[in-house]
Amino acid sequence: MSPQPNAYQNALAQNVVVFNGATYRRKPRIYSTQIVRSATAGASFQGTIVLDPGLPFMLNAIKADDTADPNGAGATTGLEDWSVQVQDNESQYLWSNTAIGRIAMFGGREFGYQLPFEVLLRAQTLITITITNRAAGPTAGTASICFVGFSLLPLSSNAM
């Protein structure tokens, strides 16, 4: 009879991902960018996130905050009004067919958008985020965009 795995071995086993015959360990990672916006209606602004070279990324959630979001009463529901378009450099793939509202892409202010399944992104993917002010009288601010997930560290020699 073989010995039962200990708690450490169980935790490590749950933290391992296998795909294409390679084995990886998941390590928590947050990628973020800050995009400074002016107070001009209809103005567009860009920021980028570049994933680490050699480390694929498993995306679990995305979130956006803005320094122009109100504080105090209504702070959890009131958001600076802008739309967003996200594109990555894998065949210039657009994440939506047009610019969409901030909440549709990033979810609410407190928790963001928890994806219904993990999305695997290739190492060194360049992600471009374009924000466009929608409100007639927007407030200048800085948008912080966060991609939350796991970097995949190779455990086997045939990884990557």
Instruction: Provide the CATH number for the domain around residue 33.
Output: 2.60.120.230
The answer to whether 138 touches 45, Cβ cutoff 8 Å, is no
Task: With respect to residue 16, please indicate whether it lies within any of the assigned structural domains.
Answer: no
Task: With respect to residue 8, please indicate whether it lies within any of the assigned structural domains.
Answer: no
Question: Domain range for residue 48?
Answer: 27-154
Look at 111 and 130; give whichever has higher pLDDT: 130
Q: Is 102 exposed, middle or buried (0-12, 13-18, 19+ CB in 10 A)?
A: buried
Task: With respect to residue 115, please indicate whether it lies within any of the assigned structural domains.
Answer: yes
pLDDT band with cut points at 50, 70 and 90 for residue 6: low
The residue-averaged pLDDT of 132-144 equals: 87
Predicted confidence at residue 13, as pLDDT, reads 62
Task: With respect to residue 60, please indicate whether it lies within any of the assigned structural domains.
Answer: yes
The residue-averaged pLDDT of 37-48 equals: 94
Task: With respect to residue 15, please indicate whether it lies within any of the assigned structural domains.
Answer: no
Cα-based distances in Å from 17 to 24, 25, 61, 64:
5, 6, 18, 28
Please give the angle made by the CA atoms of 96, 101 and 105, to the nearest 5 degrees: 55
Predicted confidence at residue 86, as pLDDT, reads 94
Task: With respect to residue 5, please indicate whether it lies within any of the assigned structural domains.
Answer: no
Query: pLDDT exceeding 70 applies to what percent of the chain?
Result: 84
Task: With respect to residue 6, please indicate whether it lies within any of the assigned structural domains.
Answer: no
pLDDT band with cut points at 50, 70 and 90 for residue 139: confident
pLDDT of 7 > 60? The answer is no
- Mean of the per-residue pLDDT values for the chain? 84
Cβ partners under 8 Å of residue 55, min gap 6: 123, 151, 152, 153
Distance CA 73, CA 19 (A): 47
| Selection from 47, 32, 51, 30 nearest residue 131 by Cα | 47
pLDDT of 73 > 60? The answer is no
Distance CA 144, CA 67 (A): 8
pLDDT band with cut points at 50, 70 and 90 for residue 149: very high
- The H-or-E segment that residue 54 falls in is none
How many separate domains does the chain show? 1
pLDDT of 50 > 70? The answer is yes
Task: With respect to residue 100, please indicate whether it lies within any of the assigned structural domains.
Answer: yes
Cα 20 from chain centre: 24
Stated pTM of the model: 0.82
